[in-house]
Amino acid sequence: MSVTRFTNCHLIDNGKVYRHHDLYFDNSTRKICNAPTSPSFITKTIDLKGQLLAPGLIDIQNNGIYGVNFSNLNEGSSPQDIAQFRRSYQDAMSKYLTTGVTAICPTVTSNFAGVYPKVLPIYKKSRLSHQTDSLGAHLEGPFINLAKKGCHPVETFVDAKEGEHKLLEIYGGDGNLLDNVCIITAAPEIPGVLDLIPFIKQHNCVYSIGHTMASYETGVQAIENGCTMITHLYNAMPQPHHRNAGVVGLINAPLKGSQDKTPFFGLICDGVHVDPSMANLAYRSNPSKCVLVTDAMHLIGLPDGEYKWDGQVIVKNGDRLYLKGTDTLAGASTTLPQCIRNLMQWADITLAEAVKTATNNAASSINVEHERGFLNVGCDADFVVFNKDGYVTRVYKLGNEINSSDVPAGAEARLSAVL
């Protein structure tokens, strides 16, 4: 047996800091293990000099990174086009790992049926040591409401009146769902969608309410049918009213005596999609079900300017992305560690509490908590190291050390233990 030990560190897990704890992982399986029975099994020791070790971050809604749009293939894409896209995707995922995000659900926005069989196999669940993993695609549309279309192309929208046949026709069959998909976002009021929720769950996919005009009552029906998530809370849904809570009201125990059925909800804390006060309100309503997401677009990391996208033009101005000539948001360009720091400030919570929303909660929301997102024995050796200010200083992917791109200039000199 050969084991690596992290020492002189504090562990972040379960929303708490476990001070002065060592952590071990098996160099063969690349999974967290118990302390070895003999010191001779420890073949490598990493001294973190009083910093904080947390599970790798998980981003369950991300539309693209470093110039790669996860929906970029089309019906006419050739095998050569697909091969080139795969290379660009792998390169971008290697870069994204430097931000501390060790796994994502690449998000494919509303598209024509011919696109899904070409792009989804690229997002098959992975376990790699040199790039951010895919946990399976997040399919956002095309079963969504025209009134809450956002920047989705309306010509792709469909209903589900034909039931299972229509779902499989659009997404490319049973194999595509079982092997390559993690989350499906659809509006429950679209004809046929409510009845499809159990079928979606049978394919080990999470059903999430989004891009919807659904009432609170329709949302409760969806939950009774197996819905367990809400996509980017507040965005692309009716705004809550004190006499008409709408979908937002679902985050507070919609079924009497069934707290476990309250859905997880994605929350974009970039300061653009959601006002800080409303982000704080949502988080404090149900901290254990809050999942930080970036909703990042492929323009993240690119300079400000105008960019063509699906026949439209997106204007990038700092963290703000809009469709040209409108006030319609077109995704985000803020990293997940920055979203964590924002939530810390807005909700006046600790780093450990904020990290929980992008690790433990994220993993639990998509049923991978026994593999990732926790510092439990048996979970993958995917870690981030934080300094006391919440900046990622190191990343470990299956134990492989990766340089961080999240550290601001001069931060290394300011590193200190959290006392």
Yes or no: say if 130 and 93 are a contact pair by the CB < 8 Å rule.
Answer: no
Q: Reduce the secondary structure of 256-277 to three states and give it as a string.
A: CCCHHHCCEEEEECCCCCCCHH
For residue 336, what pLDDT band results from cuts at 50, 70 and 90? very high
Lateral strand order in the sheet of 305-309: 305-309, 312-317, 320-323, 329-332
**Cα–Cα distance for residue pair 193/284, rounded to 1 Å:** 30
Choose between 296 and 251: higher pLDDT: 251
Buried b (16+ CB within 10 A) or exposed e, 118-153: bbbbbbebeebbebbbbbbbbbbbbbbbeebbbbbb
Q: What is the pLDDT of residues 103-127, one digit of tens each?
A: 999 999 999 999 999 999 999 999 9
Q: How many CB atoms lie within 10 A of CB 227?
A: 25
The per-residue pLDDT for 329 is: 73
**Cα–Cα distance for residue pair 5/94, rounded to 1 Å:** 25
Q: What is the pLDDT of residues 373-404, one digit of tens each?
A: 999 999 999 999 999 999 999 999 999 999 99
**Cα 214 to chain centroid, rounded:** 23
411 pLDDT more than 60 = no
**132 secondary structure, DSSP code:** P
Q: Which of 134, 222, 147, 221 is nearest to 185 (CA)?
A: 222
Work out the mean pLDDT of the chain and round it to a whole number. 92
Q: What is the pLDDT of residues 48-61, one digit of tens each?
A: 999 999 999 999 99
- Could you tell me the two tokens for 377? 């024995």
The per-residue pLDDT for 108 is: 96
HSE of 337, CA atoms in CB hemisphere, 13 A: 26
* Stretch 237-248: mean pLDDT: 90
* Stretch 325-331: mean pLDDT: 77
Task: Strands of 191-344 (E only): list them.
Answer: 206-209, 229-230, 264-268, 290-293, 305-309, 312-317, 320-323, 329-332
Yes or no: say if 337 and 100 are a contact pair by the CB < 8 Å rule.
Answer: yes
The per-residue pLDDT for 260 is: 74
Task: Strands of 353-398 (E only): list them.
Answer: 383-386, 392-397
**Cα–Cα distance for residue pair 331/213, rounded to 1 Å:** 20
The per-residue pLDDT for 180 is: 97
**Cα–Cα distance for residue pair 108/127, rounded to 1 Å:** 20
Q: Which residues, at least 6 apart from 209, have a Cβ–Cβ distance to it below 8 Å?
A: 185, 186, 187, 188, 219, 222, 227, 229, 230, 231, 237, 247, 250, 263
* Stretch 10-23: mean pLDDT: 98
**Cα 1 to chain centroid, rounded:** 34
Q: How many CB atoms lie within 10 A of CB 182?
A: 24
Helix (H) or strand (E) holding 217: helix 216-225
- The alpha-carbon radius of gyration of the chain (Å, integer) is 21
**Cα–Cα distance for residue pair 210/197, rounded to 1 Å:** 13
* Stretch 187-201: mean pLDDT: 97
Q: Which of 60, 63, 87, 109 is nearest to 300 (CA)?
A: 63
301 pLDDT more than 70 = no
For residue 259, what pLDDT band results from cuts at 50, 70 and 90? low
412 pLDDT more than 80 = no
The per-residue pLDDT for 418 is: 32
327 pLDDT more than 90 = no
**Cα–Cα distance for residue pair 17/22, rounded to 1 Å:** 13
Taken in order of first residue, the domains within the chain and their CATH numbers are 3-55+376-414 (2.30.40.10), 57-365 (3.20.20.140)
Q: Which of 92, 173, 75, 86 is nearest to 122 (CA)?
A: 86
**Cα–Cα distance for residue pair 369/53, rounded to 1 Å:** 18
- Could you tell me the two tokens for 360? 């433990």
**Cα–Cα distance for residue pair 227/258, rounded to 1 Å:** 13
**Cα 256 to chain centroid, rounded:** 29
Type of residue found at 43 = T
- Could you tell me the two tokens for 240? 């809550």
Which residues are catalytically annotated? 295
**Cα–Cα distance for residue pair 69/300, rounded to 1 Å:** 10
Distances in Å between the Cα of 89 and the Cα atoms of 70, 73, 160, 182 are 8, 12, 31, 18
**Cα–Cα distance for residue pair 195/227, rounded to 1 Å:** 11
